[in-house]
Amino acid sequence: MTDEEAYKQFRAVRFADNKGDPFCPHCGSLGVYEYRCRQELKCKGCFKRFSVTTGTIFHGRKMPMRHLLMAIAIFVNGANGHAALRLSRDMCISYKTAFVLAHKLREVCGGLKKKDKLTGTVEIDGLYVGGHIRQKNYKKDRKDRRRRPFRSPERTQVIVNLRERRRGGRTLSCVCRNEVDAIQFVLDNVAETAKVRTDKGTSWGTPFAAYFRDYKAVNHDVAFSMNGVHVNWVESFHSRIRRAERGVHNRISGKLVQNYADELGWREDHCRVDNGAQYNILMRASARHPRSQRWQGYWRKRGPKETPKLIGSA
C-alpha cells in the first residue's frame, strides 16, 4: 500500500457518514475543498483548516498515514498484546512515539465496549497484580513465598473481570484496590436475571446472593468445578493477562492497568475473529474515536483540555 492509497482508505472510513466525501468536523458544512500541494482541507463556511485525522484519536499526528495503518496491523497481530519497545523496533520509530501510539489504540479498544448489561451465565473473579516485593540478598532473610503472598498493600491492585460464558460473549474489567470496591461495578453491568458464578471469596457472597436471582459459588479448596458450577472461563482470561504481563510487557505500570485490561478484554472477545477483520474493526473505530484527552501531548506534560465535541467524531 502506498501513502496515497493509505490516505484514501482512511479518508473513506473517516467520512463514511457522507459516503466518503469530506465535511467540516467543526461546523458540519459540506462545502469543503482540498489543497493540491498537501493533504489538508478547508471549510468554505467557517474557513477552518483541518485534516482527515482532526478530532480523531490520531489528532495532531505527524506520522504518515501509511505508518499509522501499519501500526494498527502490527498491534492486532499480537495474541497477548504488543510491547511498545517491539513496536518501535518493527516500525523504526522512537520508543516514546510507539508508547503513546499503542496506548491510543488501547483507548480505542476500551471505547468499543458495549454499554449493555451482561446476560446469561456470567463468571466473576479477581486477579491481583503489582506490589511485588523483592527477596532479600541473604538466604537467611528470605521469606517462603509458598506459604503466603508477599505483596506491598500500597501498590497491590485487583482486576475484577466479568465474562459471559458463551461463544461470542463479552468481557468487562474493573481495576480497584480490593474486590469489595468492585461490587457496585458488578451490579451496574450485570443484569439482575443473569446466572452469576464466582468462587467462595468473602467479598462476593452476601451482596450477590441478595441481588441476583441465580447465584452460585464454587469452593476452590475442594474442587475447581462442582455440579457444573465453575469459573473456568474467567480463569482462562486471567491466564491471558498473566501471559501478557510476564511474557510480552515484562512489567505493567499500576496507573495503566485499566488500559491493558481493556485491550486484553477486546482481544479475548475477538479471539475467534481473523486478523484482517480485527484490523478493519480497529481502523474504523480509530477513525471515529474522539481526540484523546490523556495521550494528546503526553510527553509534553500537558493536562487534559476541554475540547469541543466535533461532528462525526464519536
Q: Each residue's pLDDT tens digit in the chain (314 positions)?
A: 888 999 999 999 999 988 888 999 888 889 898 888 888 899 988 899 899 999 999 998 889 999 999 999 999 998 899 999 999 999 999 999 999 999 999 999 999 998 899 999 999 999 988 776 777 888 888 876 555 555 566 678 899 999 999 988 999 999 998 889 999 999 999 999 999 999 988 888 888 999 999 999 998 888 888 888 999 999 999 999 999 998 999 888 888 999 999 999 999 999 999 999 999 999 999 999 999 988 988 887 755 555 555 566 54
How would you list the strands of the sheet with 171-176, edge to edge? 171-176, 157-164, 121-129, 195-199, 214-218
Q: Residue 309 has what pLDDT?
A: 55
Strand order in the sheet with 32-34: 32-34, 41-43, 49-50
Distances (CA, A) of 178 to 183, 185, 287: 10, 12, 36
What is the length of the chain?
314
Q: Would you say the C-alpha torsion 83, 131, 113, 170 has a positive or negative sign?
A: positive
Q: So what's the pLDDT on residue 302?
A: 58
Quote the DSSP letter at residue 151: B
Say what the pLDDT of residue 151 is: 59
From residue 248, alpha-carbon distances to 123, 134, 157, 161 in Å are 26, 21, 20, 20
Owner of C-alpha cell 485525522: 53
Nearest to 75 by CA among 224, 285, 256: 285
3-state percent helix, strand, coil for the chain, nearest multiple of 5: 40, 15, 45
Please give the helix or strand (H or E) that residue 290 lies within, else none.
Answer: none
- Backbone φ and ψ for 73, nearest 5 degrees, come out as -65, -40
| pTM, to two decimals | 0.87
Rounded to the nearest 5°, which phi and psi values hold at 63? -75, 150
Which grid coordinates belong to 20? 466518503
Q: What domains can be seen in the chain, in order of their start residue?
A: 3-112+274-297 (no CATH), 121-269 (3.30.420.10)
**DSSP H helix total and E strand total for the chain:** 9, 8
> What residues have CB less than 8 Å from 43, skipping those under 6 apart?
24, 26, 27, 29, 31, 32, 49, 50
